[in-house]
Every structure is written in C-alpha cells, then in structure tokens.
C-alpha cells in the first residue's frame, strides 16, 4: 500500500470554498420564491451542476498539482471573483442577457483553471495526466465560448432545455482517454476540502 502524505488545506482554499457556499446560498434562494415553478427547479439543478463542476476541477488541480505559491493564490482570487459574480446574478426569471452572462462566466471560470494548469505545467513540466486535464479544460472552455456566442446571437435561446448545457462538461472526460494517471488524488486533502 502506498504511503500517502497528508496535504494540508490552505486558508485561501477554504476561502475559495466559502465563495461556493455563497453561490449555493444564492441557488437555494431560487427555490424559495412565491410561485415555485418547473423552470425554477431546472435552473437550480443546472446551476448547481455547473457551479459544483467548477469546484471539482479546481479541487482536482489543487489536490494533485497545487503548491500554494503565487500561481495558485492569484488565480484562485480571480476565480473567486467570477464565482461571486455568478452568485450575484442568479435569478429565477432568466433573460437572454443572463444566459449569455452565465455562459461567459462559465468559460471564464474554466479558463482560469486552465491558466492554472498551463502556468503549473510551464513551471513543472507536462506529463500525460496533466495533459489529460488540460485537454478536458480546453474542450470545456471552447464549448462555453461557443455557447456564449450562441446565446449572444440568439442561436441558443432561453428555455428549459438551454439550462442543461451545464451538463456537457461532465461528459467530455468520457470522450478523452487518459492512458497514464501518474499522480493520484491525495485523499486526506480531498476529504478535508469536502
């Protein structure tokens, strides 16, 4: 059995998690309105999946590759602002402008995580595990940039089905194969983050 060294969770990681608490609080507010509708439930589910997938990708990066240096700190602060902007703009009655904004903010949040991977890889080198995550993130950022353009040009119209585009990033890893997982998840760190 391999010896796993516990990786302590830093204060900025915990502060980053608090931004997701703020976003989750905003999401639960969508369910507590005067007239509960199916659209409110669909918005809640899709936004929850979108927000949690951003948290997941950031957590995987910090768990496997993060080193608590300036690269991590500055990019996490930028990510906090993006997630904070999402939580401020959550509404149970979305408009086309809100859909466009959220698609752009998703692209920006994943782009920041991609920047973290790029800067860390440039500093420490790129292995196959690292490149697997980079390929996933590039595909996700391109997807959300396309949906942003689609929403801005009314090709992706506001509606119940449009809210489910947040599920697509969960499917992308199934299409990209990883041949060598050289760095495994640090379970003590992941448990403390959860």
Q: pTM to 2 decimals?
A: 0.85
Taking only the tens of pLDDT, the chain with its 194 residues reads 455 566 777 788 888 888 888 888 888 877 776 677 777 787 788 888 888 889 988 988 888 888 888 888 899 999 999 998 988 887 767 778 888 888 899 999 999 999 999 999 888 888 877 888 888 899 999 989 998 898 889 887 776 566 677 777 777 766 666 544 555 666 666 666 66
**What are the CB-based long-range contacts (under 8 Å, 24+) for 52-60?**
52/20, 53/166, 53/169, 53/170, 54/79, 54/83, 54/106, 54/109, 54/110, 54/113, 55/17, 55/20, 57/110, 57/113, 57/133, 57/136, 57/137, 58/16, 58/113, 58/116, 59/190, 59/193, 60/133, 60/185
């Amino acid at each position: 059995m391999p010896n796993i060294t516990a990786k302590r969770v830093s204060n900025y990681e915990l502060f980053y998690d608090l931004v997701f608490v703020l976003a989750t609080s905003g999401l639960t507010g969508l369910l507590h309105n005067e007239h509960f509708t199916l659209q409110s439930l669909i918005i809640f589910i899709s936004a929850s999946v979108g927000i949690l997938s951003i948290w997941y990708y950031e957590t995987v990066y910090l768990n496997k590759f993060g080193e608590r240096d300036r690269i991590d700190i500055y990019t996490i602060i930028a990510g906090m602002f993006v997630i904070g902007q999402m939580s401020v703009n959550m509404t149970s009655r979305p408009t086309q402008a809100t859909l466009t904004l959220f698609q752009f903010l998703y692209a920006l949040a994943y782009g920041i995580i991609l920047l973290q991977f790029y800067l860390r890889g440039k500093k420490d080198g790129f292995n196959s595990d690292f490149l697997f995550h980079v390929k996933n993130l590039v595909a996700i950022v391109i997807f959300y940039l396309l949906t942003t353009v689609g929403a801005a040009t009314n090709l992706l119209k506001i509606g119940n089905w449009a809210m489910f585009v947040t599920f697509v990033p969960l499917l992308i890893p199934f299409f990209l194969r990883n041949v060598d997982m050289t760095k495994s998840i640090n379970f003590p760190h992941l448990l403390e983050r959860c």
